[in-house]
Structure 1
Amino acid sequence: MTNAAATEPVAISTGEPATTVTRGTVLIVLASFCFGTSGPLVKPAMDAGLSPQQVASFRIGLAAALLLAFVAVTRPRLLRLRRSDLPLLVGYGLVGVAAVQLLYFAAVSRIPIGVAMLLEFTSPVLVALWVRFVRRVVLSARMWVGTALALLGLAMVAQVWEGLRLDTFGLLFGVASALCAAAYFLIGERGVSTIPPLGLVTWGMVVGAVAIAVVTPPWSLPGETMTATAEFAGLAVPVWTLLVTCAVVSTAAAYLLSISAMRYLPANVVSVLAVCEPIVATVLTWLALGQTLAPVQVLGAAVLLAGATVVQLASRTPKVVLVGDAVQPTVG
């Protein structure tokens, strides 16, 4: 006689505690705020005459130098590398730091910024597809609905229909930036399982800075532009102070908070919650640079936040694994 208890699937709760989910959510929201400050900070610098590539080179180069000096003084043991970690660190730095920045700026140079932003922030869908079909983890319907709502809200905030024009290379650059952004979340999630977040971000930033320096050396920035003043929040602010703030807040702190969030939440959840960044960027641009918000952007922000909330709540739901003939790991 077959033992029914032995063959019947058994549900096992593998969900993360609510406090862990909350901690990860707070970290990625703070990271999104920090990332979102980059646009309002660097736009006056670019209006003053700096190219997007020069801005990226400076912000990543300075962030790498500051992180390296801070870690060397406070926690030098984090700078010790294991040979087995080198491929991951190089991949994280080249793809998640350098390539995603350069490809996004390349897309912006050829297609409207709203379209480029939407393309880059399709990365949550790519991460979800990887988790579903490569890792064979079943994602709940709420996770997919929340992701779709977040992307719809993003499209409304970015107003992608404004000045839309087709440019093959621009679209390719945008799609490539999305692939790199997805790789950033997946590599970061894997990295924090063996490397402390501070060490991972520091070495990743160093690798990214070296890679971008090959294309645009930070020392090539014109001194007269760096010392010139630009208007920010109604004040005349030196360009170099905007770039230094961007390097500290929008780069070093943002990457560290984002990677730290992956210690508490899976990559697919973090990537969706990260789409709050365009809301922060849009609101800060309105406050600091005086650019107005259209009603559709306000509505889009609400839709985006609703989608992010659905994903966040889904991540609190205990995951169920069926043990027996029907083994189905689930998330959300």
Structure 2
Amino acid sequence: MTQLSDRPDAGSTPPPSSTLAVTALTATAPAIWGTTYLVTTEFLPPGHPLMSAVIRALPAGLVLLAITRKLPHGAWLWRSLLLGTLNIGAFFALLFVAAYQLPGGVAATLFALQPLFVVALAFLLLGEKPTRWRLGWGLVGVVGVGLIVLRGQLSFDLWGILAGIAAAGVMAGGIVLTKRWGRPEGVGAAALAGWQLTAGGLVLVPLAFVFEGLPPALDLPAIGGYAWLAILGALLTYPLWFSGIGRLPVVAVSFLPLLSPAVATILGWLFLGESLTPWQGVGFVLALTAIAAAQLSSDVVRGLARVPTTPRGE
């Protein structure tokens, strides 16, 4: 039986000074993704979530391919297809199924299980020993997100719950495999993002046409909303995200998407007149603390826990 370490990530070294900057830059991706709910509900035509996902992913992927002028070859053909399916195609499809079958708060809480899945997969695929520190903060993060987004009476649908859990699982798999395989020599994060966004978008195209068909004629707000999702929500953020996965501990990165429901809730309060309760304030504190605590290395935590002793008589 695998034993858990009492340290957050045994054997790690103190992060360089640039780690905070890399973490902050990577965190902007899930923070911007938190605007998706507001943009979708206020600007996009209803009833076309899969087509919206295609418009978000595929053009951004093609633009990145044109900019980087690098195409996958060899083993990276099937790797790009698999990663694109996990991180983009299957993830978006399952997430939308969960969103349609469950209250948004329940779906967001299920997705907050992702760091726990990453801990397990990182052990199986990367040999990273699970730790009580990050498992504990993973549970705290789930509780925090639940307090932020769960409101009123809840309804549960079995297929929705399974889809929400599966969405967290496939993105966790995508994160860990992205870390395991890295990038081919000479290929940057922008090219890798282009490969995955294109592959994921192509996977979604037939699903969108079969289940939804073409969206209605778009007005100016809808065009602006799609532009926001494609440019800010994909073209600029996914290169940052994949760069962060390559440069930071994979489990630490997996906590950053907890920012998305927090940002979505704040935007709902600012622009939609949604109320905030004291319990939601507690949830914000728990979620943000979990994100921050998960970034700490074992040496940092040991240093914080070390209590200096004072000789008697002084």
Secondary structure, counterpart of 1:220 in structure 2: coil
Aligned to 1:262: 245
State whether residues 89 and 204 of structure 1, in contact with CA within 8 Å, keep that contact through their aligned partners in structure 2: yes
**Rounded Cα–Cα distance in structure 2 between residues aligned with 1:212 and 1:303:** 35
Secondary structure, counterpart of 1:308 in structure 2: helix
Q: Deviations over 1:72-122 (max 9, x none)?
A: xxx32xx13231211210111111101101101001111111111111221
Matches within 5 A, 1:238-249: 238-249=221-232
Q: Which amino acid aligns with 1:246?
A: L
Q: 1:42 aligns with which of 22, 40, 43?
A: 40
Q: Which amino acid aligns with 2:25?
A: L
State whether residues 13 and 297 of structure 2, in contact with CA within 8 Å, keep that contact through their aligned partners in structure 1: no
Matches within 5 A, 1:253-332: 253-314=236-297, 317=300
1:102 maps onto 2:85 in alignment: no
**Rounded Cα–Cα distance in structure 2 between residues aligned with 1:167 and 1:97:** 24
Q: Which amino acid aligns with 2:114?
A: S
Q: CA deviation at 1:245?
A: 0.8
The structure that is strand-richer by fraction is 1
Aligned to 1:55: 52
Aligned to 1:19: 17
State whether residues 103 and 173 of structure 1, in contact with CA within 8 Å, keep that contact through their aligned partners in structure 2: yes
Matches within 5 A, 1:148-297: 148-159=139-150, 162-194=152-184, 195-217=187-209, 220-223=214-217, 226-227=218-219, 238-297=221-280
Q: CA deviation at 1:210?
A: 0.9
**Rounded Cα–Cα distance in structure 2 between residues aligned with 1:162 and 1:120:** 19
TM-score between the two structures when normalised by the length of structure 1: 0.80
Q: Deviations over 1:236-262 (max 9, x none)?
A: xx2111111111111222222111111
1:290–1:318 distance in 2 versus 1, CA, 3 Å: closer
State whether residues 14 and 297 of structure 2, in contact with CA within 8 Å, keep that contact through their aligned partners in structure 1: no
Q: Which runs of 5+ in 2 are unaligned?
A: 1-9, 303-314
Q: Which amino acid aligns with 2:92?
A: Q
Q: Deviations over 1:202-224 (max 9, x none)?
A: 0111111111111114981211x
**Rounded Cα–Cα distance in structure 2 between residues aligned with 1:306 and 1:35:** 20
Q: CA deviation at 1:278?
A: 1.1
Q: CA deviation at 1:165?
A: 2.0
Q: CA deviation at 1:288?
A: 2.6
Number of equivalenced pairs: 289
1:135–1:209 distance in 2 versus 1, CA, 3 Å: closer
State whether residues 60 and 208 of structure 1, in contact with CA within 8 Å, keep that contact through their aligned partners in structure 2: yes
Alpha-carbon RMSD across the aligned residues, in angstroms, is 2.4
Secondary structure, counterpart of 1:263 in structure 2: helix
**Rounded Cα–Cα distance in structure 2 between residues aligned with 1:316 and 1:35:** 32
State whether residues 34 and 261 of structure 2, in contact with CA within 8 Å, keep that contact through their aligned partners in structure 1: yes
TM-score between the two structures when normalised by the length of structure 2: 0.84
Q: Which amino acid aligns with 1:279?
A: A
Identity of aligned residues (%): 23
